Amino acid sequence: MDTPTFPAVSTSLLLDGPAGPLELAVDLPDEPAAAQPVVAVLCHPLSIEGGSMHNKVVTMAARALRDLGISVVRLNFRGVGQSAGHYDNGVGEQDDLACVANWVRASLPGYQLWLGGFSFGAYVSLRACDRLSPAALISIAPPVGRRDWNFDAVNPPDQWLVIMGEADEIVPPQGVFDWVADQPEPPALVRMPDTTHFFHRKLIDLRGAIAHEVRRWLPDSTV
């Protein structure tokens, strides 16, 4: 498969990945004149429970970033949509993310790479930080204490945001808050009251929280 160029318009495409084709959606800012030299790669929730790049939390996070002039790439992990392969408990998915990140960096070498993810996607993007050294990280409802995923000895960037619903019924909120407090350099933390795991009726609030917190990280902070 030929390596695609980074598109000049919002579109979907296939990239040659470690397990076969990877399906991507590239979302560009609506106002090209306000575009920032930043690309954020966003990761979706658990594949084997229906997670995909079309998840509403992921697409709302993409909308918040696009509003700030950031280009966004959403990917379907292996085994989801048109992406080849099979679920790999976050290990192969880190390879998928690295493939996309490396394509972004090769395509746009002067741009900052940001990573982000929701739930399982927050885990994958956090664990990939050692390897990819992003300029910023957005972790939405990281599944601390769920399954056998290891959240110890992580190496996030200095610019790190965690957003957590206080009424999350899937990930125990206090476990996340304690984990955040135990970090050597704790991230910015947004606690959203009366908010469940999938941010039902809170998606607009999520959009605002992301925009408010990450705006100061932009290379052109006048936006």
The domain spanning residue 163 has which CATH number?
A: 3.40.50.1820
Asked if 88 contacts 72 with a C-beta cutoff of 8 angstroms, the reply is no
Whether residue 154 is contained in a domain is answered as: yes
What is the Cα–Cα distance from 86 to 213, expressed in whole angstroms?
A: 35
- The answer on pLDDT for 222 being more than 70 is no
From residue 59, alpha-carbon distances to 64, 83, 136, 145, 194 in Å are 9, 18, 18, 25, 21
Q: What is the pLDDT of residue 220?
A: 75
pTM for this entry: 0.97
Whether residue 91 is contained in a domain is answered as: yes
Whether residue 221 is contained in a domain is answered as: no
Q: What is the pLDDT of residue 155?
A: 95
Whether residue 3 is contained in a domain is answered as: no
pLDDT-derived band at 221 (thresholds 50, 70, 90) equals: low
- The answer on pLDDT for 33 being more than 80 is no
Q: Mean pLDDT across the stretch 175-194?
A: 97
Q: Mean pLDDT across the stretch 148-167?
A: 95
Determine phi and psi for 126, rounding to 5 degrees: -65, -45
Whether residue 4 is contained in a domain is answered as: no
Structural domain of 148: 11-215
- The answer on pLDDT for 204 being more than 90 is yes
Whether residue 33 is contained in a domain is answered as: yes
For the chain, state the CA radius of gyration.
16
Q: What is the pLDDT of residue 146?
A: 87
Give the number of residues written for the chain. Answer: 223
Q: What is the pLDDT of residue 28?
A: 97
Of 58, 64, 70, whose CA–CA distance to 10 is shortest?
Answer: 70
Whether residue 151 is contained in a domain is answered as: yes
User: How many CB atoms are closer than 10 A to CB 159?
Assistant: 18
Q: Give the count of domains, the chain.
A: 1
Q: Mean pLDDT across the stretch 196-219?
A: 97
